[in-house]
Amino acid sequence: MINVAILVWKEVPSRQEQSILQFWLETDKAAYLLRQYFFNNLHDRLSTRPFLSLVEKKWLAFQLLYAVKQSHDNGVCHGDIKCENVLVTSWNWLYLADFASFKPTYIPHDDPSDFSFFFDTGGMRRCYLAPERLYEHGGEIQVSQDAPLRPSMDIFSVGCVIAELFLEGQPLFELSRLLAYRRGQFDPSQHLEKIPDSGIRKMILHMIQLDPDSRCSAESYLQTYAGVVLPCYFSPFLHNLYSNLNPINPDSRVRDPIKCLVNRNAMDQKIVFANQLKLKFAWLSVNNLNPMPMLTSLTVACTRLEDQHLNELNKCFPNLQVQVLELVAVRGLADPKIHLLNLKACRWVVFSSRPSLTLITPNLITLKIQCVMCPAIHIEAPMLSHFHLSIDAP
């Protein structure tokens, strides 16, 4: 699921995703445009409690850049990126909406009526337009108002929105200030000094350069500032997680979040790059689960696991080693068998009346078992040197 709000109904890939996209309905008397209800636009969200934390602001900035990247990758420029056109759900998932290719690309700098009519419908005089979009009547450079938009124009607008995001809702430019900046009579870096993070200031200043050819693409900013301004876990982990939760029925998101993710064959995309995973209080299905060879530590606690004999677990996590495999109060098992050649430490906590476990782990060194009755255990672990068995009577 992409962040950009899609307008074309026929391109919707599945019925699940139709509910969050726009829909056009025309009758003989009227036309209706329907779309998902959104909690806020970004302008309103910045003044709504609870106020955004630093990491939430970075998350929204990342999503905005990602949405612009998706749009530009498809050859579409927005033309009117501003806080009012950035829509935010109650769980901080961002949509870039109201694409404005129909608006003039260039407007006269000495006639504010065009700016007010097309780009300042709220009357707040905030300006997100790239300075090259303002032209002089009779100037040396002749432009056509319907000339195509350029991606660099959107990047300037994104810089203004991100600046406003980190300036607690204070705009970087009003129209008069942008005209002064265009003439070299205003330095936005002084205004940006209110942002404590120097990396964010540097990124914004690069986006709002007067020379449009000096601005980078949205994809370039995502790559350059990953790990510097934007935490590395935003992509692919967090963005993929939200993307796969988004089309799921809201009730299912709450009731069986892990099961929903796994059944969408997406779990491997989220953690294949990680080496540790903890799953707690979930209902976990392993259907269509792809191998995760990078994973070396797994904890499954208070979870129903639909893998009675742990066959899929053995296949999908072949390199569990170094730290530990923990199975704590896992339901749904029947004569589980752990067959992991690289496993070195295992902890098993079981509260069933007749526990049983088979371990074929040639490199296992440490084994801890906690249960309520004496378990039936078959162990093939020649390297085992630390074995702890705890039987707590109910």
- Token pair belonging to 349: 């906590």
Which of 133, 52, 131 is closest to 86 using CA atoms?
Answer: 52
CA 390 from chain centre, in angstroms, equals 43
Helix or strand holding residue 229 (H, E): none
Residue 108, φ and ψ in degrees, nearest 5: -70, 140
Q: Which amino acid is at 334?
A: A
Q: Report d(CA 216, CA 62) in Å as an integer.
A: 15
Check: CB of residue 184 under 8 Å from CB of residue 134: no
Q: Which of 80, 154, 256, 307 is catalytic?
A: 80
Helix or strand holding residue 361 (H, E): none
Q: Report d(CA 343, CA 105) in Å as an integer.
A: 62
Identify whether 80 is a catalytic site residue: yes
- Token pair belonging to 176: 């008069």
CB atoms < 10 A from the CB of 217, how many?
A: 17
Enumerate the active-site residues. Answer: 80
